[in-house]
Chains A and B, each alone.
Chain A
């Protein structure tokens, strides 16, 4: 038996760049100090890493870019607690620890030949951005690509240039945006694109998108705050999306990332499941059979 110490010991990685995305979210670009390791590091959209700030602790963060795109690993981190606050205090050139990549990924290969529907709420855009990039980088292999993105306001919109690009030019996918707060930017955008932008929560976008959706031939990928899932899944259900072609990614407290510490266990006696190693990506079909999953 091979002891996989590297799964347990964070590897040093240098912060190459930090981009302010919103008032509480930053995008970190990282490179492993060990060049050999950097070259062999492979990941897929939906996988996550365990990120350590030296002396503070470790936290779970999704990889938010696709490896089909040249460039460093990117993590979008919201400042919410001990580790993420400490991370936000670091600067370019500082070093953090990384373990991973862990978990399964969105079935981007199986999705080939089908339409792709991405539904994101708030921070949920981070893991979905990897899927979007992957699909756009292999554009000819997929059908229609639609993004429904629910945000609070322009200020809180993640990856603004990328998700708003379709409003300016053809960028390979259709973008629909819902916003909740009074917001001059989106009100203006809505006036110019009433068929793509609407005020309300993300589910209001279905009405706009419906004429582009072919539920029989579409893979839907959903990520957002836990409350969002129930409403979005109901809309998908109603439209006849197959539960086997709807994917979600779940969030749980994670300590080990590899199925030991027990924190991310969901489901009960008949279906004990680890979000860290059996997920974080689950089909809606799985979710229906695991109690308490959403």
Chain B
């Protein structure tokens, strides 16, 4: 389809629900509700807060409690959303979250939002901090409904679900791609591949991270780390949450809510008696890298999708790739 027909595509998608896309907001980008194509900046690199915010809110009420009657699931007004313009790394990250939140005990809040969200991917070009190519997450094979491959003046539209297909029924702005279009696609992919500057030595990453758990190589970075937890909040695959409960002043009704949590906080691994399984900043720092260096067994995808957010938004300038490569360096 021609890029000029984007508004037509959007109005077809609006049949499904509200469209949310990448919007420039001050210095950064953020996924927000959009009404028209020109509100979006489709050449963005990364948003600060990843799309996980649509499925697990930074803070959300999950149960209502009445002090005499007990707990009740809080249901929200169901709402269909089109997440427009997701990059491959974020799509892969959502697949990882899906495997956690929709496994044998599907999380009712996550699952219902996830089912009501249509995902439209878009191809992208890396900046200096992207390393999805090293992680094998620079391409999304599935986990979306539609995907737009940028080939200059137009897009090649990849359809990956029946839902996506049915929304396009009768769309007269779609044309069958020609041979040249596919050549442009190949050219685009070649150019994109050559643009990655950062490389994480990801071979044997799980083993390396594990076996160097006690290495001094971490120290230099640990001593700079502020333990602020920003890297957790911006990470598209970080999904820890904490739970709180509060009652109103009448002591009659209350809510249980959950909030994004961070393994950098002291309370994360605290158990009764004040015993802490990760008492020091070193323990917590290494824990995070260990967690991010694992492979999700259900999807076969790494827990780090190489989006670069944690590096870009770390107030101490700690570079995820540099940390792991330097730890790798110790073994080589």
Q: A-side interface residues toward B, CB under 8 Å? A: 1-5, 7-12, 52, 54-58, 78, 80-81, 95, 97, 225-226, 251-253, 255-256, 258-263, 265-266, 268-272, 277, 291-292
Q: Footprint of A on B, CB under 8 Å?
A: 62-63, 65-73, 100-103, 105-108, 111-112, 205-207, 209-210, 213, 239-247, 251, 254, 256, 258, 261, 263, 267-273, 275, 277, 287, 290-291, 293-295
Q: Are A8 and B108 in contact (CB under 8 A)?
A: yes
Specify which of A11, A56, A256, A263 is in contact with B245 (CB 8 Å cutoff). Answer: A56
Q: Judging by beta carbons under 8 Å apart, are B263 and A262 in contact?
A: yes
Q: How far is the CA of A190 from the CA of B187 in the complex (A)?
A: 84
Min Cβ gap B205→A in Å is: 7
A259-B103, A270-B210 known; A97-B70 Cβ under 8 A? yes
Whether the Cβ atoms of A265 and B291 lie closer than 8 Å is yes
Question: A95–B70 contact, CB under 8 A?
Answer: yes
Q: Is the CB of B207 within 8 A of A270?
A: yes
Chain B residues near A7 (CB-CB < 8 A): 105
Q: Do the beta carbons of B270 and A260 come within 8 Å of each other?
A: no
Nearest-neighbour CB distance to chain A for B211, whole angstroms, equals 9
Give the chain A neighbours of B210 by CB distance below 8 A: 268-271, 291
Expressed in whole angstroms, the Cα–Cα distance for A266 and B291 within the complex equals 9
B105 lies within 8 A of A255 (CB): no
Is A255 within 8 A of B106, CB to CB?
Answer: no
Would A12 and B70 count as touching, CB distance under 8 A? yes
Question: For residue B115, which residue of chain A has the nearest CB?
Answer: A1
A54 x B70 contact (CB < 8 A): yes
| Residue among A55, A78, A225 making CB contact with B254, cutoff 8 Å | A55
Determine whether the beta carbon of B111 is less than 8 Å from that of A1: yes
Contact of A262 (CB < 8 Å), options: B65, B254, B261, B295: B261
Instruction: State the CA gap A56–B256 with chains docked (Å).
Output: 9
Give the docked Cα–Cα distance between A90 and B33 (Å).
Answer: 48
Give the Cβ gap from B95 to chain A, nearest Cβ, in Å: 16
- Determine whether the beta carbon of B271 is less than 8 Å from that of A252: yes
Q: Which of B67, B73, B213 contacts A54 (CB 8 A)?
A: B67
Asked if residues A259 and B291 are in contact (CB atoms below 8 Å), the reply is no
- Can you pick out 27 interface pairs between chain A and chain B where the beta carbons lie within 8 Å of each other? A1-B106, A5-B108, A8-B62, A9-B63, A54-B68, A57-B244, A80-B273, A226-B275, A252-B271, A253-B271, A255-B242, A255-B258, A256-B243, A259-B103, A260-B239, A261-B258, A261-B261, A262-B240, A263-B268, A268-B206, A268-B210, A268-B213, A268-B287, A268-B291, A269-B206, A269-B291, A277-B105
Which residue of chain B lies nearest to A262 when distances are taken between CB atoms in the complex? Answer: B240
Residue of A nearest to B107 (CB): A260
Bound Cα distance from A142 to B259, whole angstroms: 47
> How far in angstroms is the closest Cβ of chain A from B144?
19
Beyond A57-B245, A268-B209, A268-B210, whether A258 also contacts B105 by CB under 8 A is: yes
Chain B residues with Cβ under 8 A from A270's Cβ?
206-207, 210, 294
CA of A12 to CA of B72 in the docked complex: distance in angstroms?
A: 11
B177 to chain A, nearest CB (A): 35
Are the CB atoms of A9 and B73 closer together than 8 Å?
A: yes
Question: Are B70 and A252 in contact, CB atoms less than 8 angstroms apart?
Answer: no
| Contact partners of B72 in chain A: CB under 8 A | 9
- Residue in A12, A97, A261 whose CB lies within 8 Å of B242: A261
Given pairs A55-B67, A270-B294, 14 additional interface contacts (CB within 8 A) = A3-B108, A3-B111, A5-B73, A10-B70, A11-B70, A95-B68, A226-B275, A253-B269, A259-B103, A261-B241, A261-B258, A263-B242, A268-B213, A268-B287
* Contact present for B209 and A269 (CB under 8 Å): yes
Interface contact B207-A55, CB-CB below 8 Å: no
Q: How far is the CA of A146 from the CA of B32 in the complex (A)?
A: 63
Q: Which residues of A contact B206 (CB under 8 A)?
A: 268-270
Min Cβ gap A166→B in Å is: 30
B293 contact from A80, A225, A269, A277, Cβ within 8 A: A269
Cα A261 to Cα B267 in complex, Å, equals 14
Cβ distance B61 to chain A, nearest Cβ, rounded Å: 13
